[in-house]
């Protein structure tokens, strides 16, 4: 009897190991250098105007998941300056890779991407993924050229805008919605601090209208750039949680 139990446990362990191996094989990890050799299309980041004016340079490191078809399907920030990270993410999510084959079959890939932001008087290192060519993209500002006029609207993190929030109207939980979750909105705020436009990024259809109705009544302190009020684009997260959950 003990021998039979031992054999049964051995079979279960082998089966579990095989199943785990199959799951892991659905996505493989490759080096950043190897992934670069598969790159078909690279969109260079646009240097954020505020970061350029503040003379901020640096490297943004992203963990990237690439689908079987070679599309970037998920991005996670590993490290990088907060003023540079959004531009890096916006660029890399448009990259396209050659399909990675494992035993002749396409497989999803996980890798690391490095995006460099270097101002023109400090040339970028050659051969690094995301390093900027000298004209028209991140780091392309010529040190002898006057700075361009301020942008009409700047993108600001949700954390910064939360600190500027004056009036916050909480959403009314829809009576017919026995669901909970998070609604993520892209919000444009005018120079006076009023919510001017709202776009839905994600969220449950039953919760979205209540989130929009609440957020459009929010009021912010004006965001100042060089002591002048300027319109802002940011993201707002609205959480819905049922009582007792």
The residue out of 117, 143, 173 marking a domain boundary is 117
3 lies in some domain = no
124 lies in some domain = no
Euclidean distance between the first and the last CA atom of the chain, given in angstroms as a whole number: 47
Domain match, 183 and 103 both: no
pTM equals: 0.43
Structural Rg of the chain based on CA atoms: 24
Domain that holds residue 214: 153-240
pLDDT of 66 reads 94
- Count: domains in the chain: 2
φ, ψ dihedrals at 216, nearest 5°: -65, -10
| Rounded-to-integer distance, Cα 175 and Cα 183, Å | 17
177 lies in some domain = yes
pLDDT of 1 reads 58
pLDDT of 15 reads 54
How many CB atoms within 10 Å of residue 20? Answer: 10
pLDDT of 140 reads 35
| Nearest Cα residue to 117 out of 39, 34, 190, 61 | 61
For residue 231, what are the β-bridge partners? 153
Domain match, 230 and 177 both: yes
The residue out of 117, 136, 170 marking a domain boundary is 117
CATH number at residue 62: 3.30.2420.10
158 lies in some domain = yes
207 lies in some domain = yes
- b/e 72-86 (16+ beta carbons within 10 angstroms → b): beebeeeebbebbbb
**DSSP per-residue codes, 108-160:** EEEEEEEEEE--TTSPPPTT-TTPPPSSSSTT---TTSPPPPPPSEEE--HHH
φ, ψ dihedrals at 69, nearest 5°: -85, 0
To the nearest 10°, report the CA torsion of 179, 185, 190, 193: 50
- b/e 184-210 (16+ beta carbons within 10 angstroms → b): ebebebbbebebbebeeeebeeebbbb
105 lies in some domain = yes
The residue out of 56, 89, 117 marking a domain boundary is 117
208 lies in some domain = yes
pLDDT of 14 reads 55
| Rounded-to-integer distance, Cα 196 and Cα 218, Å | 10
223 lies in some domain = yes
pLDDT tens series, the chain, 245 aa: 566 665 565 555 555 554 444 444 467 888 887 788 888 888 999 999 888 888 888 899 999 999 999 999 999 999 989 989 999 999 999 999 988 877 678 889 899 999 999 887 654 433 333 333 333 334 333 334 344 455 677 787 887 788 889 999 999 988 887 888 899 999 999 999 999 999 999 988 889 999 999 999 999 999 876 678 888 899 999 998 887 65
């Amino acid at each position: 009897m003990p021998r039979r139990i031992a054999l049964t446990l051995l079979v279960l362990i082998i089966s579990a190991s095989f199943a785990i191996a199959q799951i892991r094989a659905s996505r493989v990890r490759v080096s950043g250098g190897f992934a670069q050799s598969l790159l078909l299309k690279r969109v260079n980041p646009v240097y954020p105007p505020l970061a350029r004016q503040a003379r901020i340079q640096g490297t943004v490191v992203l963990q990237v998941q690439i689908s079987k078809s070679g599309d970037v399907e998920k991005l996670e920030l590993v490290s990088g300056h907060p003023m540079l990270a959004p531009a890096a993410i916006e660029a890399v999510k448009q990259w396209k890779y050659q399909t990675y084959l494992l035993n002749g079959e396409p497989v999803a890939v996980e890798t690391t991407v490095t995006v460099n932001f270097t101002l023109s008087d400090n040339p970028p290192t050659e051969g690094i993924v995301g390093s900027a060519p000298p004209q028209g993209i991140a780091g392309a500002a010529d040190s002898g050229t006057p700075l361009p006029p301020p942008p009409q609207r700047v993108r600001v993190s949700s954390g910064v805008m939360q600190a500027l929030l004056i009036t916050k109207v909480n959403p009314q939980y829809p009576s017919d919605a026995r669901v909970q979750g998070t609604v993520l909105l892209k919000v444009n705020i005018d120079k006076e601090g009023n919510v001017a436009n709202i776009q839905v990024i994600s969220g449950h259809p039953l919760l979205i209208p209540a989130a929009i109705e609440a957020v459009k009544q929010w009021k912010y302190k004006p965001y100042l750039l060089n002591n002048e009020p300027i319109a802002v684009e940011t993201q707002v997260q609205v959480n819905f949680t049922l009582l007792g959950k």
